[in-house]
Amino acid sequence: MEESQETDIKREEPDSIIKTHILLGMTAGAIPIPIADILAITVIQLDMIRKLANYYEVDYDNEWGKSVISSLAGSSLAIFGGSTIARYSVSGLKAVPGLGTLIGITAQILLAGASTYALGEIFKEHFSGKGTMFNFNLDGVKERYKNFYEKGKKVASKMYETSKLDDIYAQIEKLSKLKDIGAISREEYEEGKRKLLDKI
């Protein structure tokens, strides 16, 4: 009985790591600065993989993490219209005043949440099964990644509808946290804050 309870507790912790980073990723997707959002999302996803690796006591290398994220995002038909170029196109919509900015932000929020969920589930599954950097089969997980991504879109959409990402001041606070962890620069934080305050 005690062993079962310990297992349940152990299982919840990676889920908490993933959920926290989904929220951070969605917040980064709301950054009203083209391209800066993608860079911030990548930093957040790398941090999530690192924390999952630490939880399962698996060796982790940041460059390896970047390579995996890039490969999965670039090869999966489910991601950003099937290409990295399309991913940047979604971010680029934010440069279009008015409706373009709104559409770009909303799309990037959901895409960031879904891809972060998919990566989190892939690595939770791999590391919990005694997987390491050295036996990670990139080609072997692509189909599972697509499936997790589709589920992630629903998870992200539900989280977005529930929270509405709070109000403008809450978004500014979240931008501040992204700055503090190094996901965005001070200049990007100040520009994002200014654009958010301009909506008031």
Task: Please check whether residue 101 is in contact with residue 27, taking contact to mean a CB–CB distance below 8 angstroms.
Answer: no
Is the pLDDT at 95 greater than 50, yes or no? no
**pLDDT, position 134:** 93
Share of the chain above pLDDT 90, in %: 36
Contact criterion met (CB below 8 Å) for 66 and 42: yes
Which pLDDT tens digit goes with each residue over 2-21?
Answer: 444 444 444 448 998 998 89
Statement: residue 99 has pLDDT above 70 = no
**C-alpha–C-alpha distance, residues 5 and 96, integer Å:** 52
CA distances for 18 relative to 5, 89, 148, 152, angstroms: 21, 26, 13, 11
Q: Mean pLDDT of all residues in the chain? A: 77
Q: Which amino acid is at 183?
A: A
- pTM: predicted TM-score of the whole model, two decimal places: 0.69
Q: 107-126, pLDDT tens digit by residue?
A: 788 888 999 999 999 999 99
* Rounded-to-integer distance, Cα 121 and Cα 14, Å: 9
Write the burial class of residue 115 (CB in 10 Å: 0-12 exposed, 13-18 middle, 19+ buried): buried
What integer is the mean pLDDT of 55-66? 94
pLDDT in tens, 126-182: 999 999 999 999 999 999 999 999 999 999 988 887 665 556 657 778 888 888 888
pLDDT of residue 132: 95
User: In the 8-state DSSP scheme, what is residue 182?
Assistant: T
